[in-house]
Amino acid sequence: MPALRFAFALVLALAFALAPVAAQGCATAGTFWKRDTLPITPSGLTGVSIIQGMCEGESAGVVFEMPANMPVQRITQVVAPWGAALGVGGFAAALDVEVYDGVSFSGATANMGTLVFSLTQAATANMQVQSHGLNTLDTSTYNIIVGAAPPTGNPPVRRFAICFRCDVNFHPTATCATGYPANFFTDNSQTPSFPFQCNNVITPQRTSLIEIQGQGWRDAALASVTGIGLCPIYYSGIWCIRCCSQDAFPATYTNIGPGCPNPLGTSQLLAAAMPRIGQTMIVNITNVPAQLGLMITGTSGSSSTLGPLPLDLTAVGMPGCFLRASLDLTDALFTFGQTASWSFNIPNQGGLLGLNFFHQAFVFSPGLNPFGGAMSSGAQWQIGN
């Protein structure tokens, strides 16, 4: 942004996006994040501001604040606004996607936390965007984790930032010195009026970010070039940058294969309390004929000291039965009637999040076969929030 340019332009419609926006803003269930005031899916005549002074190599970002009790999140989709005056379509750009975990502020300076993702670094690629609309990119395969950085400020807040760096602006006639008619846009639809003062409702502080050549990251509401504030003449509003997220480490419990029958049927593993850090996981085992059994727990569902899994147990006297968990830990099971219960206290340690384990129950049934028992269904479980 070497030259200050009046960069306000009303645009007729947000009609063109590289991918459709789902009804709730995200393609799958999760949390939809946005701070701009536009509808989730804009239509009709929608006024925005094209910030023409944003040059190649500079970045736009939005800071999102996480609720105190929200678990660590995984970013599954990002949305980049790219527009042109009067809603003209077809002007393209190549953007890098950058995600920062942790943002704090010192006046106009934005102190960026850890860069947890860069598209050009992760995939040696750019996000291709076109005017005029909200361009979406599926990031679900990149495992972009936010919310792990400690809270900052008083009161302490966990923040993350979704940012887009303009690597190449393909507008055919514009330059950084003259400005780019196709560029990032904000939700502002009001021209500034004299006396020129930054309206903190239209352009709230600690919300939108600009990375300015020679300055670094700045709060867009407080940023200045050569001592002249950008807001409200050269910048107004909130970047229409959005994203979607899901819990990064959900507690899961999944069946991984059937057991073999005993006189009461086949024993099933049923989660009564999910595996969450700081809590007690509880699993019930059905159809236990002899009121006694063993719970086998392991770190693998594909290999064990006895061989690859699942392992056919015919050779040890249990024809038709398979071992589905490595033999790392065994616990005795005692029943109440025909149902047994197994519990495990999970420490409240963040390093356990996302760890996967496997288990399966052996139930005694004298006379059923030479070994005297049967195997339950197998399960895989992930420790989550």
Q: Give 7-52 pLDDT, tens digit per residue.
A: 333 333 333 333 333 334 787 889 999 999 999 988 777 889 999 9
Using the 3D structure, point to which of 190, 220, 247 is the last residue of a domain: 247
Mean pLDDT of the chain: 90
Instruction: Write the DSSP assignment of 181-208 as a string of letters.
Output: SEE-EES------SS----TTTS-TTTE
| Structural domains in the chain (count) | 2
In this structure, are residues 218 and 209 in contact, taking their beta carbons and an 8 Å threshold? yes
Shared domain check, 324 and 305: yes
Shared domain check, 338 and 209: no
Instruction: Tell me, rounded to whole angstroms, the distance of Cα 361 from its chain centroid.
Output: 35
Show the tokens assigned to 6: 């009046």
- In the chain, the percentage of residues whose pLDDT exceeds 90 is 77
Shared domain check, 378 and 313: yes
Residue 18 lies in a domain: no
Amino acid code (one letter) for 123: A
Checking if the pLDDT of 194 tops 80, the result is: no
Residue that has been written with the tokens 């009121």 in this structure: 291
Neighbours of 157 (CB within 10 A): 16
Q: What is the DSSP letter of 86?
A: G
Shared domain check, 283 and 240: no
CATH label of the domain that carries residue 341: 2.60.40.10
pLDDT of 1: 56
Using the 3D structure, point to which of 247, 278, 296 is the last residue of a domain: 247
Look up the domain containing 87 and give its range.
Answer: 31-247
Neighbours of 125 (CB within 10 A): 12
Residue 350 lies in a domain: yes
Q: How many residues does the chain have?
A: 385
In this structure, are residues 129 and 18 in contact, taking their beta carbons and an 8 Å threshold? yes
Shared domain check, 81 and 226: yes
Nearest in space to 247 (alpha carbons), one of 75, 372, 118: 75
Q: Give 251-270 pLDDT, tens digit per residue.
A: 999 999 999 999 999 999 99
Shared domain check, 187 and 113: yes
Cis peptide before 347 (omega within 30 of 0): no
Residue 2 lies in a domain: no
Torsion sign, CA atoms 43, 47, 48, 50: positive
In this structure, are residues 340 and 289 in contact, taking their beta carbons and an 8 Å threshold? no
Shared domain check, 211 and 115: yes
